[in-house]
Amino acid sequence: MSDETNITQLLLDSQLGDKAALDELTPLVYAELRRLAESYLAHERPDHTLQATALVHEAYMRLIDQTSVSWQNRAQFFGLAAKMMRRILVNHAEAHHAAKRGGHAQKLSLDDAVSFFEEEQVDLLALNEALNRLAALDERQSEIIELKFFGGLTIEEVSEMMSLSPATVKREWNMAKAWLLKELS
Amino acid sequence: MTPEQYQRLKAVYAAALEVDTDQRAAAVAAACAGDDDLLNEARTLFAFHDRAEVFIERSAFAVGAHLLTKYDNYSLSERLVGHYRLIKELGHGGMGAVFLAARADDQFRKEVAIKIVKRGLDSEETRRRFRHERQILAGLDHPNIARLLDGGATEEGLPYLVMDYVEGLPINQYCDSHSLSTTARLQLFRLVCAAVHYAHQRLVIHRDIKPGNILVTEEGTAKLLDFGIAKLLDPQLAETIGHTATEIRLMTPEYASPEQVRGEEITTTTDVYSLGVLLYEILTGHRPYRVNSRRPDEIARAICEQDPERPSLVVSRDARSSGAHEGSQTKKPFNRSHNDEPAGLKRRLSGDLDNIVLKAMQKEPHRRYVSVEQFSEDIRRHLDGLPVLARKDTISYRTLKFVRRHKLGVAAALLVLLTVLAGILATARQARVAARERDQARLEKAKAERVNAFLQEMLSSADPQKQGSSVKAVDLLADAALRAEIDLSKQPETLAEVRRTIGNTYVGLGLFSQGEPLLRQALESHQQLFGMEHPDTAKTLHDLAELMRGKGEFAEAENLFQQALAIQRRLAPAGDLATATTLRNLGAVLLQHGKTSESEAPAREALAMTRRLVGNNHLNVAIALSLLGLVDEYRGNLSEAEKLYRESIDVFRQLGHAKALQTLVMMNLATNLTSQKKFDEADGIFRSAIELSTELFGAEHHNVAIVMTHYGRMYFLKADYRRAEEILRTALQIERKVLPAGHSESAQTLVTLGIVLTKNGKAKEGEEYLREALVIRQQALPKGHWTTANVTSMLGECLTVQGRYAEAEPLLLAGYEEIKAALGEKHPRTLEARERLPKLYEAWGKAEEGEKFQN
């Protein structure tokens, strides 16, 4: 079965709110993102020089028969990529946490992801939970956080993706951040 | 905080941002308009607002992407998972990867397969599926199913399953690489069927049967793998898993059944279909559908609409084009042993095997084999040179439509066998005895023998010994009905007789709706063959009437009995045994219908006619006597009834057979003695009835439960409620096990237990049983029947005990009135119902209301 046809079909389904289809889409997107991330990172240091939007967009272009998919699918695709990043990072943090408890911290001490969150002073596991609580109160705000923080989009890109004005996105982003920081304190 | 509060907070936040920082506090206070909680929230939010400026501004995408690459690069190989060391990846699918692994602490290095969720894919859905698969596998232990050895979670929390490592080839490749003959392929395929059937018996449907999930080892053992999207039929064990749409995409579309493609209900026949596709491929080397696209929707359309080519046709095309370039994308290397060259193969497949494969692959589930076992059995018949169920142009599949799965075990199958045989023998005997002419007798006997031969063959092919403890009576009967349609199409008389016999067997099992179409068809055939004025037509009318009696449609039953009787009287003005039987059953239905006095005449006539024809020593005499006993019992003539019951039991004892019926008459006698308050004598008879019926049917049989129910009722009447509760709970336990929920036979037990619990101070629990019984009775009996009214009255007592007087009053009044109308003023049941009324009013503090019900 060709992946192009399949992923278009799946994405059209997920537009209809089929959460299960989204779950299935994940491995395909995952594989493509991994492949691209590898080539993007092949000669770079793993810092924020990585162009998230370009990477995800390329993955999207490769996976989708562009002509038969509407604009909203693209937004959804970015949403999916952001969710995936969030999940990967959270899983990693959980594993690290478990290993530390089990006394294997040494094995994991040289870890870019761990040092990133330490530098940024973010407790990722706590943030993840607070973000879940936020989603229950205001889904749009939690999506904005997801797209920007985990998905690597800029305010402008998020506004384009969600069909909102940049000013609105900025205001939502700032309020959500304040609320999350309060929750983490 | 609620979403609404959060939105108000957002409005305050937006308003405050409109003004300069130094005026913000005032703006916040103004926007909150005296809502102190909101004000506090807003103030806290702004306290964090400035501090949050740099918070999460730097995206984590890059580190995530980096992790993503690292994870799959540092392979899981050489890692320890539980007690196992991973050796290499064997493959991966939608959910995770499968690794070859070995026990780290095992010097023999026993190899296993470990399925692990891939990192990043461990969504809640995937975890649930893993749990589900583990739960399913844990319940399966079969030589042809890969075993679950262990399971758990890796140190990162990724779920994994440890299974038998099967080193082998997918079944189709194995067949080709070993150049198996068609016979060897069929035998191997039957091993797969055995595994799938085993899973079905444990209520597991595989749903993804395809060559890749069936590996065959070098030793030729087939192993069924991957229960990843299997479904549990038992709703109590099944976890809700995913979405049908998901399952389709998780499975290989080429092997999906039409109902899977359409997202319709999945049953065990879904696996029958996929096995059919698999057999098609094993036998021909081709997939059944010719699709030029790989698009899922194209494949789905082919599955739902295209008729697969007959396997023999497909291989004959191979024969013509052999050596030439093959354009079909389904073509794969296909090697055969010497004696299965294409032309020979065509001959081998055409006929039985074509029909078998295509029957399994029918688009409509009810037209397929009803079970995998039946499918496999048909292949065995073919291998043994016996006729098969699958036929190209079968006359009618309608009979299959009413087949429903029932959980009846071997015992039931044997019961069927006995019932059928008894029916045949009786036919032959009656034919001998009642014949007016020798020729007629010979004709009857010959017909009975043909029916006998047919059913014998049918039943011997389903010998429980051969098939393990899995013969389902209902499947057997459905097979028999289907076979009859096919094999007897040119012998309409025998066909009608077989339909009648099978229909009666369903009736014997209490499966009235399954029996009805067969009996109606038999009646129709008899009318066409012989006209109305014929003993066979009358007999079938009688049987249909018995069915209606069983269903509780008494008026219809009475009407049919009368029709049968009219014919029989004209045919044999002096009376015969068939007429006597109709008379007796007419009496029975009249009694059941509450027409007690009308029932006496036919019952007496049946008794006299039987005695005149064959003397006193006959089953019909025994049954007619007990029926007359019941008539007297219903009229309140207890000592008359007692005499008749005793007479009936004497006849049974002399007969020495029909012991099952004997236990029921013994029960009637004991119940009668109970009503006469002769408790000690009743106790003894109850005990021997229970003993006899346990001896006949085993301890867990509803016949035993029936007697126990009445035995318990005696202790209730004796006011020994503890002992009554004990006995009745045992009876109910048996019934819950052997009868389907809501079966009319459990009503009596429920009622009695309900009232006993009420007396034992457990009225709340009792109420549940009484209400359950009331529902059953209301559904099973015509409106206003006295036994329903009796439950209503007892429920009234139960509510009285609970102090719910206002609810109790209408029930007690209605119950009493209805019982009185049906049984008369003096009947013990009427008196009991009446006594409950003054008790209610006394408890309610309205004693004067109750006075009119005092004697």
A94: chain B residues, CB-CB within 8 Å: 156-157
What pLDDT shows up at residue B527? 92
Q: Which residue has the higher pLDDT, B355 or B455?
A: B355
Q: Measured between CA atoms, how close is B76 to chain A, in angstroms?
A: 15
Q: Which residue has the higher pLDDT, B710 or A95?
A: B710
Share of chain A above pLDDT 90, in %: 28
B74: chain A residues, CB-CB within 8 Å: none
Q: Measured between CA atoms, how close is B116 to chain A, in angstroms?
A: 14
Query: CB distance A181–B44 less than 8 Å?
Result: no
End-to-end CA distance of chain B: 69
Query: In this predicted complex, what is the ipTM?
Result: 0.87
Q: What average pLDDT is seen over chain B?
A: 79
Q: What is the pLDDT of residues B312-339, one digit of tens each?
A: 888 877 666 554 443 343 444 455 554 4
Decide: helix, strand or coil at residue B347: helix
Query: CB distance B52–A37 less than 8 Å?
Result: no
Q: In 3D, which of B201, B83, B94 has the Cα closest to residue B149? A: B83
Flag whether pLDDT at B248 surpasses 60.
Answer: no
A138: chain B residues, CB-CB within 8 Å: 3, 6-7, 10
The DSSP symbol for A102 reads T
A49, with CB counted inside 10 A (0-12, 13-18, 19+), is exposed
B56: chain A residues, CB-CB within 8 Å: 120, 122, 127, 145, 149, 177, 180
What pLDDT shows up at residue B190? 95
> B373 and B199 in contact (C-beta within 8 Å)?
no
Q: Measured between CA atoms, how close is B362 to chain A, in angstroms?
A: 25
- CB-nearest to A171 from B14, B45, B122 is B14
Q: Measured between CA atoms, how close is B295 to chain A, in angstroms?
A: 7
- Render B499-539 in DSSP notation, one character per residue: HHHHHHHHHHTT-HHHHHHHHHHHHHHHHHHH-SSSHHHHH
The DSSP symbol for B54 reads S
**Pairing relation of β-strands B214-217 and B159-164?**
unpaired
Flag whether pLDDT at A181 surpasses 90.
Answer: yes
Answering whether pTM is above 0.80, one says no
**Amino acid (1-letter code) at residue A74:** R
Q: Which residue has the higher pLDDT, B141 or B459?
A: B141
Q: Residue B531 — left, alpha, or beta (φ > 0 → left; ψ -120 to 50 → alpha)?
A: left
Q: Is the CB of A84 inside 8 Å of chain B's CB atoms?
A: yes
Q: What is the pLDDT of residues A140-171, one digit of tens each?
A: 999 999 999 999 899 998 998 888 999 999 99
Flag whether pLDDT at B402 surpasses 80.
Answer: no
Flag whether pLDDT at B185 surpasses 90.
Answer: yes
- CB-nearest to B66 from A46, A177, A185 is A46
Q: Is the CB of A178 inside 8 Å of chain B's CB atoms?
A: yes
- CB-nearest to A89 from B1, B67, B249 is B67
Identify the weakest region by mean pLDDT among B415-424, B596-605, B728-737: B415-424
> B602 and B580 in contact (C-beta within 8 Å)?
no
Task: Tell me the C-alpha distance between B345 and B386, whole Å.
Answer: 20
Query: CB distance B65–A117 less than 8 Å?
Result: no
Q: What is the pLDDT of residues B369-395, one digit of tens each?
A: 888 988 998 898 888 877 777 764 332
> B460 and B503 in contact (C-beta within 8 Å)?
no
Q: What is the pLDDT of residues A77-92, one digit of tens each?
A: 888 888 888 877 887 7
Helices (H), A50-101: 52-63, 71-101
Share of chain B above pLDDT 90, in %: 31
Please identify among residues 42-61 of chain A the ones whose CB lies closer than 8 Å to any CB of chain B: 46-50, 52, 55
Residue that the structure tokens 């007990």 belong to:
B626
Query: Sorting pLDDT into bands at 50, 70 and 90, what band is A99?
Result: low
For range A38-62, the mean pLDDT: 66
Cα distances (Å, whole numbers) of residue B413 to B476, B485, B781: 8, 21, 29
